[in-house]
A = this chain, B = another copy of it.
Amino acid sequence: MSAAPTRPLTLGFDADDTLWHNENIFEKVHVRYRDLLARYHDAATVDRTLFATEMRNLELYGYGVKGFTLSSIETAIQLTAGQISAEEINQIITLGQEMLAHPVDLLDGVVETLSSLSGTHRLLVITKGDLRDQERKLARSGLADHFQHVEILSEKDERSYDAIFRRHAIDPRRFLMVGNSLKSDILPVLALGGSGVHVPYHLTWAAERVEHPPRAAGRFFEIQSVRDLPAVLTTWSAGL
């Protein structure tokens, strides 16, 4: 099938750690959280217990800073057998509020790449997390005008991508998803017949890690910077 020049290709972009830094903010908060609990437990125990609490609460809370903050408080009470003070719990609440109010720090090359692509392609943001937090970050990013649609999801899986394809009349064969998470951005899209470009971030949350990289010749690409995206698009679209 040759590319029809009158019919634009659709590119989906993940947001956190693809358009702007995010996991580094969580990492900084983890450091302060470990310090807060250092007189009770070593860092590895704190990390492991917090992650277990997050996973246990994920179905109830979903992704995002508010659920993370609640799980952090719950874990701190558990790990200190109730010895943590209200003042220290207040510090955790403040950490969460600082995360929500954190400035949006764009990744290198994002502005130039989106500017060069938005004239010739249909661009979507497809992200998960707290509704208001993601909307606020997009508004603050200055990138909103590049995107035709913004989809904030409670989960990024085959079902939710399929719903997006239907909603926007997207042919998955002409859809390419760009993101830092193999699990959320690439695997479900490949499974639906779409294509994916993995742009790893230097930090990956444990819940997003996958053991085996995907195999899908001509439909899966890995680049080190979003700056390399136009070159991938040339290769990819030539094969359509």
Task: Please list the residues of chain A having a beta carbon within 8 angstroms of any beta carbon in chain B.
Answer: 57, 60-62, 66-67, 69-70, 73-74, 76-77, 80, 82-87, 89-90, 93, 96-97, 100-101, 130-133, 135, 152-155
Copies in the complex: 2
Beyond A66-B66, A83-B86, A86-B89, 16 extra complex contacts between A and B, CB < 8 Å: A57-B97, A60-B97, A61-B132, A62-B130, A66-B67, A70-B93, A74-B90, A77-B89, A77-B90, A77-B93, A82-B85, A82-B87, A82-B90, A85-B86, A131-B152, A132-B155
Tell me whether A132 and B82 are in contact in the complex, defined as CB-CB below 8 angstroms, given that A73-B89, A89-B73 are known contacts.
no
CA gap between A96 and B61 in the complex, in Å: 10
Contacts of A152 in B (CB 8 A): 131
Shortest CB–CB separation between residue A207 and chain B, in angstroms? Answer: 15
CA gap between A83 and B101 in the complex, in Å: 28
CA gap between A84 and B74 in the complex, in Å: 15
CA gap between A87 and B80 in the complex, in Å: 11
A84 touches B82 (CB 8 A): no
CA gap between A93 and B66 in the complex, in Å: 12
B62 touches A101 (CB 8 A): no
Contacts of A89 in B (CB 8 A): 73, 77, 86, 89
Instruction: From B60, B69, B135, give the contact of A100 (CB < 8 A).
Output: B60
Shortest CB–CB separation between residue A109 and chain B, in angstroms? Answer: 29
